[in-house]
Amino acid sequence: MSRVRRDKKSPKRFWALLFVLVSLFCLILFAARGRFQAPIASQTVSLILSPFQQAVSWVGSELNYVTSNIWEIVTVHEQNKMLRNEVNQLRQQNLQASDFAAENARLRELLGYKQAATQFDLVAARVIGRESATWSSMVVINKGLGDGVNKDMAVVTEKGLVGRVVEAGPNSSKVQLILDPRSSVGTLVQRAESRVTGIVVGDIDNPTMPDMENIPKTADVQEGDLIITSGYGGVFPKGLPVGIVTTLKNDDGGLLKIAVLEPAVDFQKLEDVAVITASREAPPEPLKPPVQTPGTETDPVTGEPKHAEGQGN
Amino acid sequence: MKKIGKWAAFAAVLFVLQTSLLPLMAYHGVTADLLLLLTVSVAFLRGNKQGAFMGFGTGLMQDLATGTFFGVNTLSRTLLGLLFGQFSDRVFKEQFFLPVLASIAATILNYFILALLMVLLGYRFNLESHVQQMLVPMLLYQLAFAYPVHYLTYRLDKRLEEKK
């Protein structure tokens, strides 16, 4: 005799349960094809949970801040030496860059070339929720409709593209990262000789490194190439860094190749982001010499350090 | 009704911890799935009906709040709540070893249910490398959090039963 308790109503319960499971299965298929959405239920759940997520996330980031500060204090001396060296190198590069910028401005004027610099209206936001990146990669940010954030707006950090807003609630929004397998971003190779286009999609096999697909096998794409957004499709503005090509592999079909990218943004340490609410062309800013930190000054003409200690080790 | 509210509040607390605090200690983006642990614990303590109900509720909350593939967590959690609830009559409630061990089995089953759904949705991946990168670290996290979650669930269940 079985030890499992038998229920008199089990046939009725069995059919009810089967109905629920089949309905859920159908919902999954319809939702994946975009034929089913539950925006009100989704926004209600987000509205209730987001204040708590915000509070816990704040506690977490404060803890993180304290521990990283302690570590920085421990390593500050060594870091200072390295930074002084870096400052000198960057100032040399800056001098060259200023020359190039002036030359570029002269040539643009000569050719009557239209100024293509873009200015963005940004809304700063904090990541307050993130799910385990097993099958999809989504984050929740603490800005929503009330802050001017809307569906299909691009989300960035100072390093590059993060993703796009897929659902905006009253006080929070869901952002689909470029690592998500459902995400697709129109991109191109930044190198002037290449400019090959492709689509960057998330890879379930390797959720930390997205793939650039649809690249012809003979196209000029090399390891180390910087990939930027192409602006095609209208969701992502042109010129946002997406990642760097680390490896190239052949597509299963054999006619195309796939570039595996190291994302420009460190998604493991994603805390603060900005939502691009509007973008427009802007006039160039006049060239100004950067402010120099006392103790590390260099000659603005030659780039040579003024102080002996500024040379570092 | 009050009882359901308390269970819902407990699930919400675990969800908030899972999505806001645990990502700080994630390994390649993988963290523990506290709501899956809660479903398994409730199934062991309360039986298959309430286990399935808890699985449905926590799965739906996760699907709605995170914006993942809609319904996948709801379906897998309901099935797991139902399955592990079958063992509730055979395990002593004070016995913690089996439910904690069962959380490992539940995580593996949950992984393969979701993998099957992904394949049905048209996504292709290398199972072997995905298991190594995703499932193995998740199992370690689950093992670390299984006991505290089961203990808290047991305490809450006992407290609600005493009030009754």
Smallest CA–CA distance, residue A297 to chain B, in Å, is 39
Q: What is the mean pLDDT of chain A?
A: 84
Judge contact between B67 and A174, C-beta under 8 A: yes
- Give the least confident one: A10-19, A226-235, A301-310, B58-67: A301-310
CA nearest to B87 within chain A: A4
Which residues in chain A are contacts of B126 at CB distance < 8 A?
205
Judge contact between B61 and A10, C-beta under 8 A: no
Cβ-nearest to B31 among A57, A132, A176: A132
- Distance in angstroms (rounded) separating the CA atoms of residues A118 and A120: 7
pLDDT digits (tens, 9 = 90+) for B25-45: 888 889 999 999 999 999 999
Percent of chain A with pLDDT over 90: 35
CATH of domain A40-177: 2.40.10.340
pLDDT at residue A290 greater than cutoff 70: no
- The architecture that CATH gives domain A184-264 is Beta Barrel (2.40)
Residue A304: per-residue pLDDT: 64
Residue A280: per-residue pLDDT: 72
pLDDT band at A32 (very low <50, low <70, confident <90, very high): confident
Cβ-nearest to B67 among A64, A132, A166: A166
**What are the structural domains of chain B?**
2-23+31-163 (1.10.1760)
Instruction: Report the SS3 class of residue A225.
Output: coil
- Give the number of other Cβ atoms within 10 Å of residue A143's Cβ: 24
Let me know if the fold of A40-177 is the same as that of A184-264.
yes
pLDDT digits (tens, 9 = 90+) for B58-67: 999 999 988 8
pLDDT at residue A308 greater than cutoff 70: no
Judge contact between A45 and B61, C-beta under 8 A: yes
pLDDT at residue B151 greater than cutoff 50: yes
- Distance in angstroms (rounded) separating the CA atoms of residues A182 and B115: 15
- Distance in angstroms (rounded) separating the CA atoms of residues B142 and B34: 8
Between the alpha carbon of residue A277 and those of residues A6, A234, A240, B139, the distances in Å are: 59, 13, 15, 40
Amino acid in the structure at residue B6? K
The residue of A8, A9, A50, A131 whose CB has the most chain B CBs within 10 angstroms, and thus the best one to mutate to test that interface, is: A131
- Take residue B109 and report the two structure tokens written for it: 């089953």
Q: What is the mean pLDDT of chain B?
A: 90
CA nearest to B11 within chain A: A49
Which residues in chain B are contacts of A135 at CB distance < 8 A?
68-69, 72, 114, 118
pLDDT digits (tens, 9 = 90+) for A37-61: 777 888 888 888 888 888 888 888 8
Cβ-nearest to B70 among A4, A28, A128: A28
Q: Which of B106, B90, B92 is nearest to B143 (CA)?
A: B106
Smallest CA–CA distance, residue A168 to chain B, in Å, is 11
CB spacing of A3 vs B78 below 8 angstroms: no
Percent of chain B with pLDDT over 90: 64
Judge contact between A169 and A223, C-beta under 8 A: no
pLDDT band at B89 (very low <50, low <70, confident <90, very high): confident
- Distance in angstroms (rounded) separating the CA atoms of residues A95 and A98: 5
**Between residues B96 and B52, the one the model is more confident about:** B52
The residue of A47, A65, A128, A134 whose CB has the most chain B CBs within 10 angstroms, and thus the best one to mutate to test that interface, is: A134
pLDDT band at B148 (very low <50, low <70, confident <90, very high): very high
CA nearest to A64 within chain B: B24
- Distance in angstroms (rounded) separating the CA atoms of residues B5 and B9: 6
CB spacing of A38 vs B64 below 8 angstroms: yes
- Torsion-angle region of residue B13: left (phi > 0), alpha (psi -120 to 50) or beta? alpha
Start-end of H helices in chain B:
2-16, 34-46, 48-66, 72-85, 97-120, 127-130, 136-163
CB spacing of B114 vs A134 below 8 angstroms: yes
Judge contact between A181 and A298, C-beta under 8 A: no
- Distance in angstroms (rounded) separating the CA atoms of residues A305 and A221: 39
Cβ-nearest to B121 among A32, A57, A166: A32
Q: Provide the residue ranges of all domains of chain A, joining segments of one domain with +.
A: 40-177, 184-264
Q: Which of B9, B84, B95 is nearest to B50 (CA)?
A: B84
- Distance in angstroms (rounded) separating the CA atoms of residues A195 and A7: 68
Residue A2: per-residue pLDDT: 46
- Take residue A150 and report the two structure tokens written for it: 């809307």
- Predicted TM-score (pTM) of this structure: 0.80
pLDDT digits (tens, 9 = 90+) for A77-122: 888 889 988 998 898 888 888 888 888 887 877 776 655 556 788 9
- Distance in angstroms (rounded) separating the CA atoms of residues A199 and A210: 10
The answer to whether B16 faces chain A, any CB pair under 8 Å, is: yes
CA nearest to B110 within chain A: A134
